[in-house]
């Protein structure tokens, strides 16, 4: 499976920074996706990014409290930057204290550590805690929403826009199933320690015990998150993730009819995915998968590979895939390590199921004046031929 084919292509090739492909079920002898009673849904493999099932995946809808996944993501970014620490306290303002909806039951005027507020958002879905975090991080909830949109843009959440930290209804506050899956993947990959909080089933604060609303945490031991949401206009929503045999799947269901329905529909998607597909590793991060010709450099061969571990998801019944690497030509030094230089296409049954960016694994400086002169002549005649 790791016998890669290297192909040189034209002068104007440009490799995509990231690409995933919906599997084409029409040409594959596998079970069709289940019927899912939700306005929109998606099933995505965490490692490969491939979409295994979906409906209305890019249709903007109201996210309700799924919004709080981005609230915590922004907080995690600031904690990672060192601008705040988990022990940093937030003053509970009247605005936070009076915020309607689900609550952590914070007391007005108290100082609460961010680590407690974080748990209050993740487990209790506290709107008061969400606003308190927003005000501590950005000064105002409106300014925090700008940070949320900035991070959404960085993650490629193309059809999302946030106006608050809670998910309370607003015409300009929306997201999609696809974007929520994208955010879930980023949370798990970038902040794994914080992500472990999403599997916690209960939290005590102010002498009040509250339970996690994600019913799958109690029903399926392979599920370790993530977040529920509900308003009368959004319906019942859930982003769930589970790991079985080193394969992680993410299921998003939006607009179901009840608390139990969102759990059942997400469980149906997860069971389908684990039963029908498997994830295979193509290569590890920085593993040399081939060499490409490079011109006018101190070396004439460039080691290429992937910037991250590379995976592909295929049907359980299949074990053989075809891969081909296309590298832009000519590659001209200098080239820095990490520079995108091509793309790998993964095919199953002659259908492209995934495209992965290929990068330079080493830095090659510009060669001597003589080397550049000789290579210029060779390239001239190569172009003519």
Architecture in CATH for domain 38-256: 3-Layer(aba) Sandwich (3.40)
Residue 3 pLDDT > 60, yes or no? no
Looking at the chain, which residues constitute the CATH 3.40.710.10 domain(s)? 38-256
Distance of CA 107 to the CA centre of its chain: 35
Is 14 one of the annotated active-site residues of the chain? no
Of the chain, the end-to-end C-alpha distance in Å amounts to: 34
pLDDT tier at 275 (50, 70, 90 boundaries)?
Answer: very high
pLDDT, residue 5, reads: 54
pLDDT, residue 249, reads: 98
Residue 12 pLDDT > 60, yes or no? no
pLDDT, residue 18, reads: 37
pLDDT, residue 6, reads: 52
- Residue among 48, 93, 125, 354 flagged as catalytic: 125
From CA 327, how far away is CA 132, in angstroms rounded?
50
Residue 383 pLDDT > 70, yes or no? yes
Looking at the chain, which residues constitute the CATH 2.60.410.10 domain(s)? 5-25+282-384
- Residue among 68, 227, 296, 328 flagged as catalytic: 68
Is 65 one of the annotated active-site residues of the chain? yes
Q: Side by side, which strands form the sheet with 301-305?
A: 5-9, 322-328, 340-348, 351-360, 301-305, 290-295, 331-332
- Overall average pLDDT of the 66-87 stretch: 97
Locate 154 and state its tokens: 């960085």
Backbone dihedral angles phi then psi of residue 345, each to the nearest 5 degrees:
-100, 135
pLDDT in tens, 330-378: 999 999 999 999 999 999 888 898 999 999 999 999 999 999 999 999 9
Is 326 one of the annotated active-site residues of the chain? no
What is the value of pTM for the model shown? 0.89
Tokens 């998968």, located at residue: 289
C-alpha neighbours within 13 Å on the C-beta side of residue 52: 34
pLDDT tier at 30 (50, 70, 90 boundaries)?
Answer: confident
- Fold for domain 5-25+282-384? Peptidoglycan synthesis regulatory factor (PBP3), Domain 2 (2.60.410)
Which has more pLDDT, 321 or 115?
Answer: 115
């Amino acid at each position: 499976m790791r016998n890669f084919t290297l192909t040189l292509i034209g002068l104007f090739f440009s490799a995509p920074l990231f690409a995933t492909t919906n599997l084409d079920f029409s040409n594959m002898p596998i079970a069709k996706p289940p019927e899912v009673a939700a306005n929109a849904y998606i099933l995505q493999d965490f490692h490969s990014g491939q979409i295994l099932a979906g409906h209305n995946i890019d249709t903007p809808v109201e996210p309700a409290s799924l919004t709080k996944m981005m609230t915590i993501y922004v907080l995690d970014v600031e904690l990672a930057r060192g601008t705040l620490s988990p022990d940093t306290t937030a003053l509970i303002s009247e605005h936070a204290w009076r915020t309607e909806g689900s609550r952590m039951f914070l007391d007005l005027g108290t100082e609460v550590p961010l680590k407690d507020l974080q748990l209050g958002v993740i487990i209790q879905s506290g709107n008061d805690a969400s606003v308190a975090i927003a005000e501590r991080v950005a000064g105002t909830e409106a300014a925090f929403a700008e940070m949320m949109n900035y991070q959404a843009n960085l993650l490629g959440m193309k059809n999302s826009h946030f106006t608050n930290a809670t998910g309370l209804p607003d015409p300009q506050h929306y997201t999609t199933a696809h974007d929520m899956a994208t955010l879930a993947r980023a949370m798990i990959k970038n902040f794994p320690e914080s992500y472990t909080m999403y599997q916690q089933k209960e939290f005590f604060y102010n002498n009040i015990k509250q339970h996690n609303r994600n019913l799958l945490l109690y029903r399926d031991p392979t599920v370790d998150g993530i977040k529920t949401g509900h308003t009368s206009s959004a319906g019942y929503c859930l982003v769930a993730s589970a790991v079985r045999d080193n394969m992680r799947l993410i299921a998003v269901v939006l607009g179901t009819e009840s608390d139990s329905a969102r759990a059942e529909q997400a469980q149906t998607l997860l069971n389908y995915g684990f039963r029908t597909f498997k994830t295979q590793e193509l290569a590890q991060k920085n593993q040399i998968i081939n060499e490409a010709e490079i011109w006018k450099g101190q070396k004439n061969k460039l080691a290429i590979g992937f910037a991250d571990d590379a995976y592909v998801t295929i049907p359980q019944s299949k074990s053989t895939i075809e891969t081909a690497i296309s590298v832009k030509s000519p590659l001209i030094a200098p080239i820095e390590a990490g520079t995108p230089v091509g793309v790998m296409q993964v095919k199953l049954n002659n259908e492209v199921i995934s495209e992965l960016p290929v990068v330079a694994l080493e830095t090659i400086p510009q060669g001597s004046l003589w080397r550049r002169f000789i290579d210029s002549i060779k390239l001239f005649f190569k172009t003519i031929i």
